Structure 1
Amino acid sequence: MSSPATQLRSRVPRIAGAAVERARLTVVPRTRAVRAARVPFVLFVSLILLLGVVGLLMFNTSMQQASFTMGTYQERATSLAAREEQLTAELEDLRDPEKLGRKAQREGMVLPTCTGYLHQDSGLVTGELCAAEQGTNLRLGDRVPPVPKAVDPDPIVVRVPSTDPGVSSTAADAAGDKQRERTSGNRRH
């Protein structure tokens, strides 16, 4: 019997020969490779890139426009705030009591020598009265303030001759006079 090492040596060339047989290159018939059309793909990718660049430019332009508008409004708000502050200072200056007093004196107003208080419910004047007003009692209900003509114009009276032979024109005039007295009486109250 042979040793296992010799058996292994005799098998190796047979295995190697079989492997070489299997690994031999053979000529394969040449076939035409199917290629995808490059032009439409390149156009598609170029179109997407172009749309992306245009979109970015439009976005950038709109952001710049919004930034410009915001800057304009901020400047306007700042100038309006400054104007408001200036007008407030002018108003406070005009409200100054000392300046108001001087202006009133230049216009001919004088300081009162006495002060009195009028109580509306009783019509009495109390407090430090002037010599001419002492002992007077004002009656608020006695006098009715005059009503301006623009608010209460005179009524327009049109005299129409009567067609009824039984009514005289003097009777119609008397009825109109009574009506006028009633309307003018209502105006006084």
Structure 2
Amino acid sequence: MPVAGERTRGSVPGQGGRARITVRPGARSMRGRTPFAVLVVTLLSAGLLGLLMLNTALNEGSFTLSRLKKQTTEGTDQQQTLQQQIAEQSAPDALERRARELGMVAGGDPAFLNPDGTVTGTAKPAEDKPPVPRPSTAAPSDPAAAASPGASASPGDPGIDLAPAPPASATPPASAPPAGPGSPSAGAQR
């Protein structure tokens, strides 16, 4: 009979004489590690692909944002240019010049109609100044158009006479003394 605390060979307490199972160190099963390794590789691959797609989407958004900023800047510049043109064309002197080009004249003194039907002031018709001579559109070979002494440089400068200058000869007249270096005609002949 066995003594308490002493074991008999081949028996393990609680097993009552069954055979003992031992694990051999060289015969471990690879079946348990394979699914875990596949799962880890799959998760890492999915994470890398997700980061790549996220980075691509952010870069695409960045390019779109820079293109839209450029379009906004161009649109703002165009708007400011158009507003400046409108301001220039709506200035009082520009409106007056354009109205004169269209043949309009300044109005006379106005008369006002009161709510009770009476008229305040005396209306006078607009007085037109004589027409401003326009530059000739005739060909330069037309002698009548070239000799017209009343032609002006522009509609706004009626006092400038564009009569043709007398032709300059290459040799000075025989009665004129030769021009020296300090005379005013010396620079014109050079």
TM-score w.r.t. length of structure 1: 0.49
TM-score, L = length of structure 2: 0.49
